[in-house]
C-alpha cells in the first residue's frame, strides 16, 4: 500500500469578510497517496484553492487536521510550515509569480538557494529541472522574454527544484490557451509517471480528465 503524503480530516475553514463570516470549506476529508495525480474541480469560490492551501500548510484550518508525511501541521509554527513547504511541497500558481528580473535558471535556483544548496549544485540541479520541462534552451531568458506556457513550465520547474513529496498546482492552465494547456497536462502526466505526486485545482475539464482521479468541491464540500 502506498504511503499517504498528505491526509486531511474534517477540515473547515471560515473567513471573515467585514462583519460576516464565510465558511469556505465544510468538513472535507481527503487522503493523497504517494504517486497520486488528483484533480480538484468545482466552480469559482467553491473552496478548491482553500483546500490546496490547507493541504500545503499555506493556510491553517478553522477546525480539523492536516497530516503531512506523518506530521500534524497544527502543531507547527508559521516558519516551520514555511520550511516544510520549501523542502516537501512544490507550488504552482495561475499567474506563475516568477521574479521578473531573474532568468529562468535563477528563478528555479531561488528555492534551492533558500534551502542553502551550494551554488554549483543548485545551478546544476536547476538546469537539469529546466531541461526536464523542455526549457534547456531558455535558461537565460527572463519571464518577459518567454511565452505564457514557457513561464508556467519555469514555475513548474521551480516547484520541482527541491524534489518535493507533493506538487500543488492552483489553476495552472488558467492563463494559458488550449494548446499550451495540453502541453502542461502532458508535462504533469509525465512527471507523475516519474513518481511525482500532484494535486491540481482546475476549472479545465480536459486537464482534470487527464488526472488519475478527480474530486469535485461544491459549496465547500467534496463530491467524489
Partner 1 sequence: MLALNSIREFRTRPLRTLLTLAGVAVTTAMLADMLMLGRGITRSFGELLESRGYELRLTPKGTLPFDTEATVPGFATLRDSVESVAGVERVAPVLAASVTVETSDDSGRSVEALALGMDSGDQGLYRLTEGETPRPGEVLTDADVRGSLGVEPGSAVRLRPAGATGAWGRRTTARVSGTGEFVFASRGDLQVVMRLDDLQALSSQEDRVSFAMIRIGEGFEPDSVRAAILARNDRVEIVTLAGISERLDARLSYFRQTALILATVSLVVATLLVGTLTAVSVSERLGLIAALRAVGLSRRRIVGGLAAESVVLCSIGGAIGVALSVVVAGYLESILSDFPGLPVAVRFFVVSADSLVTAFALLLVSGTVAGLIPALNATRLEVASMLHKEAP
Site string for partner 1, 2-21 (x = CB under 8 A): -------------x------
Which one, 94 or 192, has the nearer CB to partner 1? 94
Q: Does residue 208 bind partner 1 (CB under 8 A)?
A: no
Cell match 474541480: residue?
Answer: 41
Whole-angstrom distance, CA of residue 143 vs CA of residue 153: 11
Q: Does residue 76 bind partner 1 (CB under 8 A)?
A: no
Which one, 34 or 106, has the nearer CB to partner 1? 106
Pairing of β 89-92 and β 71-72: unpaired
Nearest to 8 by CA among 47, 52, 49: 52
Shortest spacing between CB 121 and partner 1, in angstroms:
15
Q: Does residue 123 bind partner 1 (CB under 8 A)?
A: no
Q: Residue 109: in which H helix or E strand, if any?
A: helix 104-114
- What is the dihedral sign for C-alpha 139, 145, 148, 149? negative
Looking at the DSSP bridge assignments, the partners of residue 90 are 167
Whole-angstrom distance, CA of residue 102 vs CA of residue 55: 29
Q: Does residue 97 bind partner 1 (CB under 8 A)?
A: yes
Shortest spacing between CB 85 and partner 1, in angstroms:
4
Looking at the DSSP bridge assignments, the partners of residue 169 are 92, 200
| Alpha-carbon torsion, ordered 133, 134, 139, 145, to 10 deg | -100
Out of 6, 8, 46, 53, the only residue in the binding site for partner 1 (CB under 8 A) is 53
Q: Which stretch binds partner 1 (CB under 8 A): 30-38, 54-62, 66-74, 211-219?
A: 54-62
Out of 14, 34, 65, 106, the only residue in the binding site for partner 1 (CB under 8 A) is 106
Touching partner 1, residues 20-49 (CB under 8 A): 49
Q: Does residue 181 bind partner 1 (CB under 8 A)?
A: no
52 half-sphere exposure, CB direction, 13 A CA radius: 30
Which one, 107 or 222, has the nearer CB to partner 1? 107
Which one, 122 or 138, has the nearer CB to partner 1? 122
For residue 130, give Cα distances in angstroms to 127, 153, 216: 5, 8, 32
Residues near partner 1 (CB under 8 A): 15, 49-50, 53, 56, 58-59, 79, 82-87, 89, 91, 93-95, 97, 99-102, 106, 109-111, 113-114, 158-159, 170-171, 174
Amino acid at each position: 500500500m502506498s504511503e499517504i503524503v498528505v491526509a486531511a480530516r474534517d477540515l473547515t475553514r471560515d473567513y471573515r469578510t467585514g462583519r460576516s463570516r464565510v465558511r469556505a470549506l465544510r468538513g472535507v476529508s481527503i487522503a493523497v497517496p504517494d504517486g497520486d495525480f488528483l484533480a480538484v474541480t468545482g466552480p469559482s469560490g467553491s473552496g478548491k484553492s482553500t483546500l490546496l492551501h490547507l493541504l500545503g500548510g499555506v493556510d491553517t484550518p478553522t477546525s480539523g487536521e492536516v497530516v503531512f508525511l506523518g506530521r500534524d501541521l497544527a502543531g507547527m509554527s508559521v516558519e516551520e510550515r514555511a520550511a516544510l513547504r520549501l523542502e516537501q511541497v512544490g507550488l504552482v500558481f495561475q499567474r506563475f509569480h516568477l521574479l521578473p528580473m531573474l532568468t529562468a535558471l535563477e528563478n528555479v535556483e531561488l528555492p534551492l538557494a533558500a534551502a542553502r544548496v551550494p551554488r554549483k549544485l543548485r545551478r546544476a540541479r536547476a538546469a537539469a529541472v529546466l531541461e526536464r520541462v523542455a526549457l534547456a534552451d531558455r535558461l537565460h531568458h527572463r519571464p518577459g522574454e518567454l511565452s505564457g506556457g514557457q513561464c508556467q513550465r519555469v514555475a513548474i520547474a521551480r516547484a520541482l527544484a527541491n524534489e518535493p513529496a507533493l506538487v500543488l498546482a492552483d489553476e495552472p492552465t488558467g492563463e494559458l490557451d488550449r494548446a499550451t494547456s495540453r502541453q502542461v497536462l502532458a508535462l504533469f502526466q509525465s512527471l507523475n509517471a516519474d513518481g511525482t505526486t500532484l494535486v491540481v485545482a482546475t476549472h479545465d475539464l480536459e486537464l482534470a480528465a487527464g488526472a488519475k482521479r478527480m474530486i469535485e468541491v461544491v459549496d465547500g464540500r467534496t463530491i467524489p
